Amino acid sequence: MLFYRSALDLSRRRNDIFAHLAAAFRIGAATAHRYVTEVIALLADQAPALREATRIAQRKVYAILDGTLAPIDRLSGSNDRLYYSGKHYRHGVNIQFLTGPHGELIWASPVLPGSYMI
């Protein structure tokens, strides 16, 4: 379990690729990818749906909706423009977050194309 926590923490904070995570923990890149993917799936299963998150947010004094662009490599083909953010001048995926007044995470959106605006 320690690896799972460390891998998720490292990969998200430093935007490491799986090869770097694998080298840091002396495991294969495929194993690092699998571990991080499993942790993300476990967390996603426990996350509330948007309707439930809205109910939770209504019980708070106020809620904060914010988003970020997570950088990705450029795609080939017709989907390339969909993931390009003109605001950030790069390709990425857009993730929206709903938090409570003290920063507690209430909801996170599915990954959206970088050009997507809510």
**pLDDT exceeds cutoff 80 at 96:** yes
- The neighbouring-strand residues paired with 72 are none
How far, in Å, CA of 35 to CA of 89, rounded?
Answer: 31
Split at pLDDT 50, 70, 90, the class of 31 is confident
pLDDT of 9 reads: 56
pLDDT of 97 reads: 86
Whole-number average pLDDT of the chain: 77
pLDDT of 87 reads: 82
Mean pLDDT, rounded, for 28-36: 84
**96/76: higher pLDDT:** 96
What DSSP line would sit under 20-87, residue for residue? HHHHHHTS-HHHHHHHHHHHHHHHHHHSPPHHHHHHHHHTSS--EEEEEEEE-PPPPSTTTGGGEETT
Of 45-49, 75-79, 90-94, give the lowest mean pLDDT range: 75-79
**pLDDT exceeds cutoff 80 at 45:** no
At 78-88, the pLDDT tens digits run 777 777 787 87
